[in-house]
Structure 1
């Protein structure tokens, strides 16, 4: 319970002011990118990017030609394909001879390579411009934030809007709705009254406050949790921190503002409480059971298992975390396959954080290892993730009207999905990086 009443968020905070501040911060962040990385992105500063020979851009159109094009939506494979990207948007894509190539356009030679839409990381923590750029270079041209401590993800989103070569198209989550905000209580003046709460952010009033401040700050989605963390040895990820009633309060507050909720979850009871409270996507979900998966299928709730993060625990120097990784990964793999077979929608997410950006291709590799076909595994990082993020008409395909985001691979990903971990070229909004 609250010790005393909490006044409503200040009316002085406007979305326009927030976004202006975020854009300014994004510019500061861009300036902080290492010089070599920034120069690589800015070499492609025009919408057309660089030509295949590495020369400067000559116009506002980029043509990717000669590669083998994969459409994840249909599974169609087109050899000797041509993709025309104009002003950052695909204007035409198909076999050579069916596509008119604009005169004077910059070209990217894809002969001998496979061409796929840019990948989507549906759970990543991007707190710096360097991390954002690294994500793009590893093929994640779109992403959804899993929260940041001080609204850095909102600034990264604005950075991507005015300098797409520097960051993925980002759906921002703002700060975590969690019982203990810690130093994050200083992320916004309207959060500081929560510091006096003896029990933390647990009352309906406090839960609504964090959601409201996030929305006022410009967050696109809301992130919360139902269990403790797996990545901290002193915490038990099966311990529940919010009840069904509290989760429902968070979901209700978010829905009233047109926002969905992603929920950090591990235990079956926690997963079930989160899903029945109305969350949009279940994150991690190691011990999710058949009952909850059936509910997810019925409701259309997405599953973002973050296999990469769970597998990474096994490499930890901490024996508690290493044992968790070894124990949890096979359990989660079985849950992923069961979800897929039931028709639960899956989305790929690495849960990268702390300055280390893992390739989204690694998550696709682990989806494949869990039992999905190569095409279905690729869909979790393209069309499936795009639907989760509300980008089904923007990302996940290289078709007319979609974003001009692409990756080039040195071989056939349907035969070897590990190629997705090592894109040889990345195109972001028509910028050849």
Structure 2
């Protein structure tokens, strides 16, 4: 079906600036910028494709974390009485006092020192699937230790706005990989998010044709998304929906993937059913989300392709005890099946990433999902990796986040006890540092 414009849309550059300025207003950006000029400037930067988290003028901190027990999730190495030196938002040294002596001596004696004696020091955690729609939600995620996140989509580009705010107010917003608006048959009120989506409003059957699918992906790309989000099945958390029903075929999913790849972006796909999971993987998605009924054959294919698995176990478990008996039953049925799938995926070499799927104003700590990974059968260290090194690789940032090592972002979380002995401590960090700036100490 052809998508004929009844009238020309606003000029694309104008639409981008207006759309993203409105998104910043929705997330509450005025609390940071203090004026519409700041909002417009941030929107203008996004319009012109600025993606450098080290933009000139952006705040970056310099400090030293001293005396804590440092854990490197990649190697499993534990360093007692460690020192982490962060200069201008980047780690210049991390390890023993002797190994960091030169980097520490290069800083002025007045540098801020975070005393970490008796604490455990880990890299900032990564939430690989979360829905942040407001500044308050972003702050909650950051305060709970998620210094980097990947959006699972928002209705009105709030994630793109938050990504820009993270560059200018890192003490309030985690680093963000934005997904923009959901590629789904029924856009609902999201149709109001963008003038370039208006031609889709009268399509019978919604966003299902090849041209319509490409259009929604292209609009997202023009708004500056980092990833594209789509689905093969409906939601499990709505009793009136059947999460095993097929929403998009393999061919439709492949259309979304091809359109995203044309813009250099990967796709995350919401999937539950056996067919939905398999179709998503064979369509070429970067990561499969939820994946309760994924089969061993599909997991083998994921391992072969390097497709990531983001199971969001805590979100599925959150249905248990719901007042609606349908949701309660789904939760009780799905969780053990998903746990077995996670364990099988890990054993087959499928990269697994932690994501809370937090939404609706309630932000769960990413540390809780790490605990769920352990409960599913992963070792303690491998569970920690799902929210550090593995999630960093999924976000395409394996050389900048997920570890505290030279050249990495100055993102750290401190804990009162050893996570190797008690993973539940990851739910309650005692201090959070983002780009060398103390968020909570």
Normalised by the length of structure 2, the TM-score is 0.89
Q: Is the 8 A contact 1:140 1:360 kept in 2?
A: yes
Asked if 1:167 corresponds to 2:173, the answer is yes
The answer to whether the Cα contact below 8 Å between 1:19 and 1:158 also exists between their aligned partners in 2 is no
Q: Distance in 2 between matches of 1:25 and 1:186?
A: 12
How far apart, CA to CA, are the structure 1 residues paired with 2:139 and 2:180?
A: 19
1:90 & 1:9 partners in 2: Cα distance?
49
Q: Deviations over 1:263-319 (max 9, x none)?
A: 000001110011000000000000000010011000000000001100111132211
**What are the equivalent positions in structure 2 for 1:12-411 lying under 5 Å apart?**
12-14=11-13, 18=16, 22=20, 26=24, 29-32=28-31, 47-48=60-61, 61-100=62-101, 101=104, 102=107, 103-411=109-417
CA distance 1:9–1:242, shift in 2 (3 Å): farther
CA distance in 2, matches of 1:391, 1:31: 29
Q: C-alpha separation between the residues in 2 aligned to 1:303 and 1:9? A: 41
SS at match of 1:130: helix
Cα deviation code 1:376-427 (max 9, x no counterpart): 0000000000000001011000000000000000111011111100100000
Deviation by residue 1:149-193 (Cα, 9 ceiling, x = unmatched):
011110000000111111110000000000100111111011011
Counterparts of 2:271 and 2:8, CA distance in 1: 29
Q: What is the match of residue 57 of structure 1?
A: none
Structure 2 residues not aligned, in runs of 5+: 33-57
Asked if the contact 2:59–2:168 (Cα under 8 Å) also holds between the matched residues in 1, the reply is no
For the residue of structure 1 that corresponds to 2:269, the secondary structure is strand
Aligned to 2:426: 420
Q: Would you say the 8 A contact 2:10–2:195 is kept in 1?
A: no
Deviations 1:310-339 (A, max 9, x none): 011113221111111111000000000000
C-alpha separation in 2, matches of 1:140 and 1:64:
18
When residues 148 and 111 of structure 1 are mapped into structure 2, their CA distance, relative to the original with a 3 A threshold, is: same
1:331 and 1:373 mapped to 2: Cα distance? 19
Superposed CA RMSD = 1.9
**Structure 1 residue 9: deviation in Å?**
9.0
Q: Describe the shift of the 1:91–1:309 C-alpha distance in structure 2 as closer, same or farther (beyond 3 A).
A: same
CA distance in 2, matches of 1:213, 1:357: 28
What does residue 39 of structure 2 align with? none
Q: Secondary structure at the match of 2:171?
A: helix
CA contact (8 A) 2:23 2:157 kept: no
- Residue 26 of structure 1 and its aligned partner are, at CA, apart by 3.5
CA contact (8 A) 2:15 2:195 kept: no
1:18, CA displacement in angstroms? 3.3
Change (3 A) 1:66 1:267: same
Q: Deviations over 1:194-226 (max 9, x none)?
A: 110111100000000000000011111100000
Aligned to 2:37: none
Tell me whether 110-119 or 311-320 shows the greater mean CA deviation.
311-320
Deviation at 1:5, TM superposition (A): 3.2
- Inter-partner Cα distance in structure 2 for 1:161 and 1:25: 16
- Runs of 4+ off more than 4 Å: 7-11
Kept in 1, the 8 Å contact 2:370–2:386? The answer is: yes
Range with bigger deviation, 307-316 or 281-290:
307-316
User: Aligned with 1:313: secondary structure?
Assistant: coil
What's the secondary structure of 2:207's corresponding residue? coil
Paired residues of 1:118 and 1:142 also in contact (CA < 8 A): yes
Change (3 A) 1:232 1:70: same
Asked if the contact 1:23/1:159 (under 8 Å) is kept, the reply is no
Q: What runs of 5+ residues in structure 1 fail to find an aligned partner?
A: 34-44, 49-60
* Aligned length, in residue pairs: 408
3-state SS, counterpart of residue 371 of structure 1: coil
